[in-house]
Amino acid sequence: MGKKILVTGGTGYIGSHTVVELQESGFDVVIVDNLSNSRIEVLDNIEKITGIRPEFEKFDLADADLTDSFFQNHKDIEAVIHFAAFKAVGESVEKPLMYYRNNLNSLMNLLDGMGRYGVKHLVFSSSCTVYGQPDKLPVTEQTPRKEAESPYGNTKAVSEDIMRDFAKVNPEQNLIALRYFNPIGAHPSALIGELPVGVPNNLVPYITQTAAGVREELSIFGDDYDTPDGTAIRDFINVVDLAKAHVVAINRLMNGRNKNNYEYFNVGTGEGVSVMQLVKTFIKVTGVNLKYKIVGRREGDIEKIWADTSYANKELGWKAEKTLEETLLSAWNWEKRIRGIE
């Protein structure tokens, strides 16, 4: 029997990849997910990859009573990785209370439960969105946070603050926030990947759906940014590399290697890649003739951001390893599998 980890949002995109990496590292996993943006069939595919079916419970972590009874019934949990959250930027502008209520209550209910039932370790999904458009690139963990562009982004900033304040008065609790840059790609087995509901907001799912013929044409939002080719720049990190960072973070906490009881790390590749570069790389590695056009900027987008990952590399002993080429190919293989394309 391995040590048991609660993975909230474990049937989602990053969560499912992390469950696979945890199980392959010998941890036992119990997933809690309300399936609001994921499917139960993900469990079958996690089992196909790892040979192990994770435990699963469907309920909403924003419900304090349900969360408390869950901890009461699972006294063997040693750590929590908290992914479960709403994440659509545009929707958060329309429905701010829904975002604050869901994303903040679930975190607070978990922290309450952890305190009450003696669960000491938490790894949390934060985002590079907390940096806004930084004045200086790349961003280090010391780069000042900026006011969030959206209620969604603000839930990440406020969640970090909640963790910081909670850690201060609960010295026996250990928390890590991982600030993800742009996660893309899928598991090399193509059995799990990103499954956006409706029209994708994010770049890579839009590209793969266009390549698969589900969408007519990709729109590239803006080519007049102050970047070498005029398109925006991001730090695109392979989701399996990102998933592995969670296993490393959990081990750091469980082995007492953390320097403070609240830490935060940039989890990116350290490389800035433009939207146009990514599109061209996709066309090159897949051989697909992707239709695209340049349109105006998307409101709320920042111009450029990429991570300085030296602190995470040194402190966590973790580094993103996969190339952009293999990552884009993995995204395409996943899209082909779910669409039944040969």
Residues in contact with ligand UFG by CB under 6 A are 87, 89, 127, 129, 152-153, 182, 201-203, 206, 218-221, 232, 234, 275, 298, 301-302
Residue carrying structure tokens 């399996």:
240
Handedness of CA 16, 20, 21, 22 (dihedral sign): positive
**Cβ distance to ligand UFG smaller for residue 29 or 85:** 85
Which token pair is 302?
A: 């920042």
CB of 201 to ligand UFG, least distance (A): 5
Toward ligand UFG, which CB reaches closer, 60 or 301?
A: 301
Q: What's the CA gap between 202 and 206, in Å, rounded?
A: 6
d(CA 33, CA 92): 20
Counting every residue, how long is the chain?
342
Give the Cα separation of 5 and 18 in Å (integer).
11
d(CA 259, CA 174): 10
Please answer whether residues 339 and 167 qualify as being in contact, where contact means their C-beta atoms are separated by less than 8 angstroms. Answer: no
Tokens of 14: 């990053």
Pick 203 or 250: Cβ nearer ligand UFG: 203
- Check 99, 131, 152, 292 and give the catalytic one: 152
Those residues with Cβ within 8 angstroms of residue 132's Cβ, 6 or more apart along the chain or in another chain = 145, 146, 147, 148, 149, 153, 302
Please choose, from the candidates 301, 42, 14, 71, the residue with its C-alpha nearest in 3D space to the C-alpha of residue 191. Answer: 42
Shortest approach of ligand UFG to residue 112 CB, angstroms? 26
Name the minimum Å distance from CB 170 to ligand UFG: 28
Which pair of structure tokens corresponds to residue 209?
């759906």
End-to-end CA distance of the chain: 40
**Nearest residue (CB) to ligand UFG, 203 versus 211:** 203
Give the nearer residue to ligand UFG in terms of CB position, either 105 or 201: 201
The CB-of-221 to ligand UFG minimum distance in angstroms stands at 4
DSSP string, 10-49: TTSHHHHHHHHHHHHTT-EEEEE---SSS-TTHHHHHHHH
Say if residue 138 is preceded by a cis peptide, omega within 30 of 0. Answer: yes
- The residue at minimum Cβ distance from ligand UFG is 232
Taking the complex as a whole, the smallest distance from the CB of residue 279 to ligand UFG amounts, in Å, to: 8
The nearest distance, CB 236 to ligand UFG, in angstroms, is 8
Between residues 45 and 127, which has the closer beta carbon with respect to ligand UFG? Answer: 127
The number of helices, as runs of H, and strands, as runs of E, in the chain is 11, 13
Q: Reduced to 3 states, what is the DSSP secondary structure of residue 228?
A: coil
Give 87 or 252: the residue with its C-beta nearer to ligand UFG. Answer: 87
Answer yes or no: 152 catalytic.
yes
Assign 3-state DSSP to the chain and report helix, strand, coil percentages, each to 5: 40, 20, 40
Closest distance of CB 5 from ligand UFG, Å: 23
The catalytic residues are: 152
